[in-house]
A and B are shown apart, each in its own frame.
Chain A
């Protein structure tokens, strides 16, 4: 064995020598730098939200403004407000779930028909005709003091329409 009492580099224990320590430290600092700058960059580019328009909570009107069995286009909120025959409300994002075109409401056939690829939806947003892969997204509806409020901050994707999505006054 070695005569020298203290010699880290020649001991049998696996120790990190100077060279590889610097290399590892260098890589770690480099990775940290990239992560930091990447994080800052992504945070900087993160979508900015506009106040008071689409993306905020929008007051569509009083409950009685919407007769049962009607579909109303609220353009500044980018949604249709459906009031079913039983008086329930459902807010549907106007954006086709296929490729994002705005779907116009056709009162004669009582359908949304997408002009881009001919997807069709009923007044609850359910798909009547593909290629749309899922029903129209909805927005959360709340009714406060007789007014219908729609939170357009996030469109809620759904696989099917069911009664729990309908809000009553």
Chain B
């Protein structure tokens, strides 16, 4: 290697005696340490915070109604889940049927055992809601577009991991609810083409949900899923910094802000984060004191409860299963949805309206219109399919995968295409408005399916009013 011969201009000012070693030593010297304890502890805390946050942030991004603190809340929930989860490990036996007995003992014999379980359960459920709301916030403010497309994908992978964590955790109490929800949920895997049967028995550790499944799920729940989640969280936070922090909120029609006013992270951001975190800890603790996590009788492989429902976050999927052949409902539609959501930032990549809720005033109206259309059409489809649509009977000669699978799917896709054509030509929509319309339509459809599945399906998965289910008929 050759020594660099050029001398930069600033070195000429230095005294001749100062060597490179002197300069390095000067740089490594710590800043003056405060003399009193209070200031010293502040310094330590502040430098720790500044590993995660930048020193200064645009004042606009503090706007409450822009982020709703959803990303921070998700991180808080993960922290709470890890803390309560590690504590729960000390009182849990991951074998069948002892797992159920250890939950019973936890509830009755362990100080605050029930409370700890409730906090873990409700935080996990809340995490799904918060993660989905965070995704919606990022979509509706256009914060997933370049340069943030990689972080959008990280976010989606994390959402899948959160669902995985919830699903694997659902089995662990080993009650009837857990057993049958996981039986129904894992049966979907058998519809994966070619490798479905093999994959299913690998995951279950046998032909049906058993003690082997419990151990597999336990291993996934406490090691693989959380570890993957931590790695992705680190990447997610790092990308937020690399992509220049949050998108700047602005009003519809307002020009982009060139040089935003900045404030220091400490105390302006930290104060808000602390208030938000403490409020939610208080809410979750209070809720968990009064509302217990569900626990039914011990798992019985010979007795399916009626109705046997999947966990609530998969009820949209289970509702789809009532209307489509399982291959279409459980494999084709979710794959298409996942592919669509991942490709969003590549399809809709113009950043002109970044930071504006619903892109513009017109966009807001279009989103409302899409939500209304979706509410009407999805509910109508569900009721019609329940009452008189009977593809399998009408097209009796065809295999049900065609008659009750691809044909209704083709009709649904056609309806979407017609709606898109209407927004495109009839309403003279731009590309981003068409994407906004379709995304809102499909998101609201998923909500409708989930709500119908949870509240409007009684014994035998019959469509009925929630109050008739509650009253027993």
Contact = CB atoms under 8 A, between A and B. Distances in A.
Interface string B184-212: 10111010000000000110111110101
A115 B457 CA distance: 12
Contacts of A101: 180, 183-184, 304, 308
Q: Which label, helix, strand, loop or mixed, suits the secondary structure of the B interface?
A: helix
Interface string B284-316: 000000000000000001111111100000000
A152 to B, nearest CB: 9
A116 B304 contact: yes
A100 B182 CA distance: 10
A118 interface: yes
Contact of A78 (B186, B301, B307): B301
Contacts of A130: 392, 400, 404
Interface stretch (B40-48, B52-60, B320-328, B433-441): B320-328
B249 to A, nearest CB: 45
Contacts of B206: 47-50, 55
Given A45-B202, A99-B187, A94 B302 contact: yes
A95 to B, nearest CB: 7
Interface centre among A75, A114, A131, A155 (most CB of B within 10 A): A131
B460 interface: yes
Contacts, number: 91
A89 B301 CA distance: 24
A118 B461 contact: yes
Interface in B379-430: 392, 400-401, 404
Q: How large is the interface on A (under 10, 10 to 19, 20 to 34, 35 or more residues)?
A: 20 to 34
Interface centre among A54, A115, A116 (most CB of B within 10 A): A116
Nearest to B329: A131
A108 interface: no
A100 B186 CA distance: 9
B459 interface: yes
B409 to A, nearest CB: 15
Given A115-B304, A131-B321, A47 B183 contact: no
B305 A115 contact: yes
Given A75-B302, A115-B307, A47 B201 contact: yes
Nearest to B205: A47
B202 A95 contact: no
B399 to A, nearest CB: 9
A31 to B, nearest CB: 21
A6 interface: no
A159 B337 CA distance: 31
Given A78-B301, A101-B183, A115-B459, A48 B205 contact: yes
Interface in B450-471: 459-462
Contacts of B322: 117, 131
A9 to B, nearest CB: 28
Interface in A44-59: 45-50, 54-55
A42 B199 CA distance: 11
Contact of B188 (A99, A116, A155): A99
A102 interface: yes
Nearest to B204: A47
Interface in B208-263: 208, 210, 212, 216
Contact of B321 (A55, A99, A155): A99
A92 B344 CA distance: 47
A115 B460 contact: yes
B204 A102 contact: no
Interface in A111-161: 113-118, 130-131, 133, 155
B415 to A, nearest CB: 22
A117 B321 contact: yes
Interface in B339-361: none
A73 to B, nearest CB: 7
A98 B326 contact: yes
A62 to B, nearest CB: 23
A5 B326 CA distance: 70
Contacts of B400: 130-131, 133
14 contacts: A46-B202, A47-B206, A99-B187, A100-B190, A101-B180, A101-B183, A101-B308, A104-B304, A116-B304, A116-B307, A118-B461, A131-B321, A131-B325, A131-B400
Interface of A: 42, 45-50, 54-55, 73, 75, 78, 94-95, 98-104, 113-118, 130-131, 133, 155
Interface of B: 180, 183-184, 186-188, 190, 201-202, 204-208, 210, 212, 216, 301-308, 321-322, 325-326, 392, 400-401, 404, 459-462
The 7 closest A-B pairs by CB, nearest first: A115-B306, A100-B187, A101-B304, A99-B187, A116-B308, A47-B206, A102-B304
Given A46-B202, A47-B202, A133-B325, 11 more contacts: A45-B205, A95-B208, A99-B326, A102-B303, A102-B304, A115-B306, A116-B306, A116-B461, A131-B325, A131-B326, A131-B400
